[in-house]
Structure 1
Amino acid sequence: MNEVPFGFNLPEPDDKGKKDPTGKQPGGGQENPFDAFSQLGQMLSQLGQMLSQAGTSAGPVNYDLAKQIAMQRLAETEPAGAESPEAVADAARLAELWLDAATILPAGATSTKSWTAKDWVEKTLPTWQRLCDPVARRMSGAWVEALPAEAKEAAGPLLSMVGQMGGMAFGSQLGNALAQLGAEVLTSTDIGLPLGPEATGALLPANISKFSEGLERPASEVLVFLAAREAAHQRLFAHIPWLRQRLLATVEEFASGITVDTSALEQLATQVDPANPQSIEQAMQSGVLEPQTTPEQKAALARLETLLALVEGWVDVVVADAVGDRLPGADALRETLRRRRASGGPAEQTFATLVGLELRPRKLRAAAALWRLVGDRHGIEKRDGVWAHPDLVPTAADLDEPLDFADRVGATSDMDPIAELERTQREEKDDKDS
């Protein structure tokens, strides 16, 4: 068993004449105790300097460090944009014009921006903070719980420093994940969640240019198609008041229920150097800390998957109707995006790492088929009116039996969907005020 004190390293074989970590001189003599305090003081001084350089972000995750790491990595890899901001704005205007005939929901984005990957990181970081804090708090608390009682008592005020180191480890992990994701996302809603600022659409031309390679379609055609998808997402998130909150709250609910095996943490603690945040990050990624999924989490995950599938399915159908025969390669692009979205990718890996779940709408095709059926039978007014209240939207069972759901929609009394949306907003506002 390794008897080296926690946080120190064994001497190199050629360190002749140096003290070993047991406190003895090479010749067998006992070292001066003041030297040990000096060594400890130097270590703590270096650790304090490292913490100060990493920023002073409050909370369980050091978001200052996360941003620094993401920006640094993207600065090394980000290519130049293939399209100008004017081209992005023109594509967005054309997409909005075509969408007007495909849905009753009006435009949701007041502007469409051309973002770099760095812009994406900066603009979406507040939402990532909301999604990552619950799991980080659970993990940070587990680290402290895993310490033996005597270690907690001896650590005293140093426990806050342990918390800072945990925040740095999470920040480092988040920064690397955001850099990877930021280098591949195509729009602000590419992973199905409203990560960016409200009423702001965004496309990432450099990533779109890289995505377009090998598709054998004109770059302008791909840009307009993706602009239509972004605009459709924005219409849904802007005019369905409960949807944004429901999606993010369901992710939070899943993350807040994470539990960690503290016995595994106790074993892992012997492998961590407190002066080296990378060793903490490696420990977190080792698989030993894999969270246990509870029944409540499974229920939350099922609700999230269904809601994501409904959003993506609706966008898929509306965009297909909007672009129609206007874009010759629309069908091929639609299938490419379907496979990319449903088969998993960087978004799923990132969420599995950061929040503990895979963000994948497994029933995307079933949801698209349901929206298509309802629209063909009852028109787009009835189809889009289903979004008026969360109790009206299809369930997972409805995705398996779309004909029954379409029959129920047809059996409801005729209503003005816009008026129904306004009524729902008034009721929710009254409930909040009361």
Structure 2
Amino acid sequence: MSDHPFGFGVPPEEPEDGDPGKHQGGGQGPMNPFGFGGGAGGDNPFAAMFGSLNPNDLGQAFQQLGQMLSYEGGPVNWDMAKDIARQTVAQGTPDGTKDSSIGPADRAWVEEALRLADLWLDGATSLPSGAGTAVAWSRAEWVEATLPVWKDLVDPVAERVGAAMGDVLPEEMQAMAGPLLGMMRSMGGAMFGTQIGQALGTLAGEVVGSTDVGLPLGPAGKAALLPANVAAFGKGLGVPQEEVRLYLALREAAHQRLFAHVPWLRAHLFGAVEGYARGIKVDTAKLEDAVGQLDPSNPEALQDALQQGMFQPEDTPEQKVALARLETALALVEGWVDAVVHAAAAPHLPSAGALRETLRRRRATGGPAEQTFATLIGLELRPRRLRDASRLWASLTDARGVDGRDGLWGHPDMLPTAGDLDDPDGFVHRESVDFSELDKMLGEAAGKRDKDQEQDETEGEDDEQK
């Protein structure tokens, strides 16, 4: 992890696996979450709004500026983020590919590929199908469908950073500076919204489904593929298009099974991000000094202060724990999907091994997951964890079978730890792993769910009688 997880003015580290291309993929700025000055806006965070305007558009520009400064919502102006993401999508990808609406032919092959993928997965995992519907999305539709999840993911971090602006002032000064702080909060929400919108718009040009970053970004039970991005992914690989489609459909369907039938997993991942946000400590002395020198009439001064490390967080023990928790959980998710998909694809797709390695390299050189967490949240994940986790799940399959492997998802305490990823064979053959204990824990969890359900039904009946 970088010493500067918010990336203001700090160059990217070399990746742990020594690959110099780690942060070069996809056009995202390296390690610059909320990095006002990175991304498509260049050195000006407002460039997405004003950069390409001609004089005839000044009225519209000032109207947008007024809306920005009157914003009174949460830490991120999500309306602005959505607008800028859609504008970024409309501009097309660097290779000139434009977004387009989904036609009947694309819908048909997406539905068929995901149906066949679910059929093949039935023999590779004990988890049943997790998707009730299969959909084909344009890039703009991906932005619309996933924005609610990004809000849950990013708001805790943005809230913690934004709160630092008010925390450094004594209470009596906060009362006097109320209007100024309100304006700064509005500007902060707009700046965050601008950066996030640019990042999501760029990401929409790369992702092939709803689960590329290892999280369930779309609506529950809805498996999705982006036909334009699937085609771009397969270009130049020398692999038949049909095999590319089926392999990516297998990955999407496998993610859907895992998140649908491991109910605690989503909260576990998002809780780790919130834990990381709670661990953020700001150098208040530097912030107080910077705030004292800011000129409210000069927004560029705020940007310069941010780029000079005004929000440079300390590397706290709480952050290290949260980072390890998130990194391990994501590695276990992606490693399980990698192992299960390979087992399902190998008997049917001659290019399964080549496609598997292509996706692994995509992650190691800065794929969508790594770019997203670095840019939006400030976490730099280590791609080598994926290979360790995949090897562990494959070894578990050999040693205990599909049911024994998948049974570990029944409770978070049964999953391998970060230390186990360093020694996969040790975990697989450890005699202390007692499956009778797993059965006991699963039984207790099921009993608690039944009790909670009965209580909810009783309360519902009481409410109706009232």
Regarding TM over 0.5, the answer is yes
Measured against the shorter chain, the TM-score band is 0.7 to 0.9
Q: Tell me the residue number matched to 2:199.
A: 177
Alignment counterpart, residue 408 of structure 2, candidates 386, 404, 414? 386
Q: Tell me the residue number matched to 2:132.
A: 110
The Cα offsets for residues 261-304 of structure 1, whole Å up to 9 and x where unpaired, read as 23333454478665676775565455442322210110111111
Counterparts of 1:54-93 in structure 2 under 5 Å?
56=71, 58-77=73-92, 78-80=98-100, 84-93=106-115
- The structure, 1 or 2, with the larger RCO (C-alpha pairs under 8 Å, 6+ apart) is 2
Counterparts of 1:147-296 in structure 2 under 5 Å?
147=169, 152-269=174-291, 274=296, 280=302, 283-296=305-318
Structure 2: runs of 5+ lacking an equivalent:
1-60, 93-97, 457-466
Deviation at 1:387, TM superposition (A): 1.0
The Cα offsets for residues 369-426 of structure 1, whole Å up to 9 and x where unpaired, read as 1111111122111111111111111112222333332234796357998x98676344
Alignment counterpart, residue 50 of structure 1, candidates 60, 65, 80? 65
CA distance in 1, matches of 2:77, 2:295: 18
Letter in 1 for 2:75: P
Alignment coverage as a number of residue pairs: 388
Q: Tell me the residue number matched to 2:369.
A: 347
Structure 1: runs of 5+ lacking an equivalent:
1-45
Deviation at 1:141, TM superposition (A): 1.6
Letter in 2 for 1:300: A
Deviation at 1:98, TM superposition (A): 0.4
Q: Does 1:141 align with 2:163?
A: yes
CA contact (8 A) 2:199 2:372 kept: yes
The alignment's TM-score, normalised by the length of structure 2, stands at: 0.75
Q: Tell me the residue number matched to 2:32.
A: none
Q: Structure 1 residues 287 and 425 mapped into 2: Cα distance closer, same or farther (>3 Å)?
A: farther
CA contact (8 A) 2:70 2:186 kept: no
Q: Does 1:377 align with 2:396?
A: no
CA distance in 1, matches of 2:304, 2:372: 16
CA contact (8 A) 1:54 1:64 kept: no
The Cα offsets for residues 285-336 of structure 1, whole Å up to 9 and x where unpaired, read as 5544232221011011111111111111111111111112311111000011
Q: Tell me the residue number matched to 1:31.
A: none
Alignment counterpart, residue 403 of structure 1, candidates 395, 410, 425? 425
Q: Tell me the residue number matched to 1:14.
A: none
Q: Structure 1 residues 420 and 264 mapped into 2: Cα distance closer, same or farther (>3 Å)?
A: closer
Alignment counterpart, residue 127 of structure 1, candidates 149, 162, 169? 149
The Cα offsets for residues 222-280 of structure 1, whole Å up to 9 and x where unpaired, read as 11100100100110100011111111111121123212223333454478665676775
Deviates more, 1:157-166 or 1:195-204: 157-166
CA distance in 2, matches of 1:406, 1:110: 34
Q: Does 1:427 align with 2:448?
A: yes
CA contact (8 A) 1:56 1:64 kept: no
Q: Tell me the residue number matched to 1:364.
A: 386
CA contact (8 A) 1:305 1:359 kept: yes
Aligned residues: CA RMSD? 3.1
Deviation at 1:359, TM superposition (A): 4.0
| SS of residue paired to 1:84 | helix
CA distance in 2, matches of 1:194, 1:267: 41
Deviation at 1:112, TM superposition (A): 1.8
CA contact (8 A) 1:117 1:182 kept: yes
CA distance in 2, matches of 1:303, 1:341: 19
CA distance in 1, matches of 2:383, 2:443: 29
Letter in 1 for 2:448: E
Q: Does 1:101 align with 2:123?
A: yes
Deviates more, 1:223-232 or 1:74-83: 74-83
| SS of residue paired to 2:130 | coil
CA distance in 1, matches of 2:147, 2:224: 15
The alignment's TM-score, normalised by the length of structure 1, stands at: 0.80
Q: Tell me the residue number matched to 1:314.
A: 336
